[in-house]
Amino acid sequence: MAKAARFSQQLSGPLRAVAAEAAGCERCPLYRDATQTVFGEGPSDARIMLVGEQPGDKEDLEGRPFVGPAGRLLDQALAEAGLDRQQAYVTNAVKHFKHQPRGKRRIHKRPDRGEIQACHWWLDQELALVRPSLVIALGATAAQALAGRKVVLSRERGLEVEYPGGLRGMSTVHPSSILRVPDAEARHAAFSALVEDLRTAVRPAQEAPRVTPIPMTAASPRGAARTKAKRGTKAA
């Protein structure tokens, strides 16, 4: 059974109240094998929100998003793109660590559609309270959770899209995918591409208007994201 979550001291006001409520979440079975709920963290007025798939082993133990190896890589990429992580709101589409035991290790297991939908209740509230100018999906799972449809990352990476509810967004790779690249030269190229995606998005997002999204969990049927940019055109 999940323990009481230790959510970030950065959170205040309504976000902190929602995080406290999420600490007891049992909307899907994942809470049973997780240490705790891992809610998002960051300023309540952040212009940029980054959404990953789910917490990993380190995040599950510490109760904070992106604090493991992938998180450190993300911090480095954000810094090179010109954004301090402390200025962004960082969260995951799923708030509990889904895994399978392998000896003494806990191996990441991708959440299924039902688990993602169940957890969208919390993501919707984060989006509504932060009202970011831009949402960056890290990886295909996060992109699909935000878009409400299947996303082929190789086709939509770096493109500006409109997510359901009027949110402006774009998708790129999850930093964990870069860590899995075995060749050092290829890994460096993949990291540079991530930095370029973030750099392309960050500057205009700082001045873009905020949008109050319509919660996807309240919509029936859920809308699909619409690609605004032509293929091969980066988000403005």
Mean pLDDT calculated for residue range 169-182: 96
Which residues are bridge partners to 89 per DSSP?
49
List, for residues 218-230, the tens digit of each pLDDT value. Answer: 443 333 444 444 3
List, for residues 8-43, the tens digit of each pLDDT value. Answer: 556 878 999 999 999 999 999 999 999 999 999 999
Q: Residue 13 region, left (φ>0) first, then alpha (ψ -120 to 50), else beta?
A: left
User: Is the bond leading into 221 cis (omega within 30 degrees of zero)?
Assistant: yes
What are the two backbone dihedrals, phi and then psi, of residue 99, each rounded to the nearest 5 degrees?
-155, 170
Does domain 14-227 bear CATH number 3.40.470.10?
yes
User: Please, is 152 exposed, middle or buried when counting C-beta atoms within 10 Å of its C-beta (0-12, 13-18, 19+)?
Assistant: exposed
Report the alpha-carbon distance of residue 149 to residue 151 in Å, rounded.
6
Domain ranges of the chain: 14-227
Return the percent helix, strand and coil in the chain, to nearest 5. 40, 15, 45
List, for residues 85-144, the tens digit of each pLDDT value. Answer: 999 999 999 999 999 999 989 999 999 999 999 999 999 999 999 999 999 999 999 999
Q: pLDDT-based confidence at 234, cuts 50/70/90?
A: very low
CB 133 within 8 A of CB 168: yes
List, for residues 202-211, the tens digit of each pLDDT value. Answer: 877 766 666 6
